[in-house]
Amino acid sequence: MKIIRAIILLFFGAIWVAGCSNELLSTLYKTGLIPDDYRYGDLYRLSNLAEFREPRPECPEFTAPKSTRKIALYIIGDSFTEKQRIDSSDFSVTRYHWAHWGENLHLKLDTAYTNIILLESVERNVRPHFGIPVANVITDTATFISHPAEVRFMHQLDRMFASEGVEDRLNTILFQFDPILNFKELKSWINQKFFDRTDPKVTLSGNGSTLAYYEDTDSTLLNSSYNHVPDAEIDSLVAVINFDKKFLEGLGFDQVWFSIIPNKATVLLPDYGIYNRIIERIYRHPGLKVPSVGVLEDFKRIHQGAYLKGDSHWSCVGQRVWLEKVNRQVLGNSGI
């Protein structure tokens, strides 16, 4: 009995330790001991609604047209352009570097190249990203990525033992296997059909065809497509974008662009509330001096096909539309 108790204690102790560490969780993913909890999409993961359970597709290989020029592309971006979705082979460039908005991009620009930087933001993060000047691009003796001081050891330790983070990781380790998901789907179906309730972090459209992230739809949040944005704030956002252009050109960049990826709710739930039109108001602002890569109208035409069914991110089709536009601009075919 002592041996059995010790084994049980070690087993659950190991689970708890893994629940406290993103690194150990990542190792469990790589070894195949636990499934990828985002394999059916981030919105399905939150809602467990069976009709939105769709395996995340592997996008067909995108062959970017070749350029005869020496071009280096740098992207400051969020989850839409993260390394799991997009890489250097998707662009008509010789060199490619990507950094998250929460990381520091140290760089040493090679003047033999045309150096381009693209500031990419999903719509829900436009106000925080362009509300203050960019501050995470730093000239250095080499090009590399670093994390800000506040996310180093002590901050990581705080996050490691934070109840919400541990709970989320334990949920990933224990309850993301397909047989368990079937039970979670039954519970979600009962709540939705009989009590008209879904997970508070998702919004289900009235006809049940679309699932969106709650930050897109909650009009009390600055991230929402339906939160009022006064004209004075649009003026301020444009002023910051223009300032970013001057600042980055001062660091040696030849061209500075920005791109806003529409919220899923903006495209698929246009009548959910009063849309603040933040994307088009920025793009069409008479004082804007920075070239943009816009896909809002394209996504409206594609509609459901622009986004993954159970995820807040773009589909392979939506991603390809954006990549084609970026590459046309890189190759100088856009007239900018």
User: 89-109: per-residue pLDDT in tens?
Assistant: 999 999 999 999 999 999 999
Query: pLDDT of 45-92, one tens digit each?
Result: 999 999 999 998 999 888 888 888 999 999 999 999 999 899 999 999
Is 18's pLDDT higher than 60? Answer: no
Structure confidence at residue 336 as a pLDDT band (50, 70, 90): very low
Quick one: tokens of 184? Answer: 């979670």
Quick one: tokens of 189? Answer: 């179906």
Q: What would the mean pLDDT of 301-312 be, rounded to a whole number?
A: 96
Query: pLDDT of 128-186, one tens digit each?
Result: 999 999 999 999 999 999 988 655 554 554 454 444 555 666 566 656 788 889 989 99
Percentage, residues of the chain above pLDDT 90 = 71
- Fold that domain 71-149+219-330 belongs to in CATH: Rossmann fold (3.40.50)
Domain positions in the chain are 71-149+219-330
Query: How many Cα neighbours within 13 Å face the side chain of 33?
Result: 10
Q: What would the mean pLDDT of 281-287 be, rounded to a whole number?
A: 98
Quick one: tokens of 127? Answer: 């106000």
3-class SS of residue 131: coil
Within 10 angstroms of residue 31's Cβ, the number of other Cβ atoms is 8
Query: pLDDT of 185-200, one tens digit each?
Result: 999 999 999 999 999 9
CA-CA-CA-CA dihedral for 73, 78, 79, 83, to nearest 10: 30
**pTM (predicted TM-score):** 0.86
Quick one: tokens of 276? Answer: 């603040």
On whether the CB atoms of residues 62 and 217 are closer than 8 A, the answer is no
pLDDT in the model for residue 20: 56
Structure confidence at residue 14 as a pLDDT band (50, 70, 90): low
Q: Which of 191-195, 230-234, 286-290 has the lowest mean pLDDT?
A: 191-195
Q: What would the mean pLDDT of 225-238 be, rounded to a whole number?
A: 98
Neighbour-count burial of 241, counting CB atoms closer than 10 A to its CB (0-12 exposed, 13-18 middle, 19+ buried): buried
On whether the CB atoms of residues 140 and 95 are closer than 8 A, the answer is no
Alpha carbon of 51 to those of 202, 218, 248: distances in Å? Answer: 14, 23, 45
* Side chain identity at residue 247, one-letter code: F
pLDDT in the model for residue 31: 72
